[in-house]
C-alpha cells in the first residue's frame, strides 16, 4: 500500500507541474487587469483533463493516506 502512495505522489507532482501557470494570471488582480480573470476562461481539451486528473489523484492521495494511518 505504501508503494501505491508513492506512485500517486509522484504522479500528482508531475501533473501539477504540467498545469498551465494560473498564478501569473492571478497577479493581474493587483495591477487592475481583472477583466482577463473574469472573462471567458473555460478549460478545454487537455487542460480540462489535467485538472480533473489532479482532483482525482489528490482525492486518491487523501484516501490512501487515511487508510495507511489506521
CA-to-CA distance for 14 and 54, rounded, in angstroms?
10
Range(s) of the domain holding residue 26: 2-69
pTM for this entry: 0.70
Domain count of the chain?
1
What confidence tens digit (pLDDT) does each residue in 34-70 have?
A: 555 555 566 778 888 988 999 999 999 999 999 999 8
CA-to-CA distance for 9 and 3, rounded, in angstroms?
10
CA-to-CA distance for 55 and 70, rounded, in angstroms?
23
Banded pLDDT at 2 (limits 50, 70, 90): very high
Are residues 54 and 15 in contact, defined by beta-carbon separation less than 8 angstroms? yes
The backbone region for 42, taken as left when phi is positive above 0, alpha when psi lies in -120 to 50, beta otherwise, is beta
The three three-digit cell numbers of residue 57, written as one number: 489523484
Amino acid at each position: 500500500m505504501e508503494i501505491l502512495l508513492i506512485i500517486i505522489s509522484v504522479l500528482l507532482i508531475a501533473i501539477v507541474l504540467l498545469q498551465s501557470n494560473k498564478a501569473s494570471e492571478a497577479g493581474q488582480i493587483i495591477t487592475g487587469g481583472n477583466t482577463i480573470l473574469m472573462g471567458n476562461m473555460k478549460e478545454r481539451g487537455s487542460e480540462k483533463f489535467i485538472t480533473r486528473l489532479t482532483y482525482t489523484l489528490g482525492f486518491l492521495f487523501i484516501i490512501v493516506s487515511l487508510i495507511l494511518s489506521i
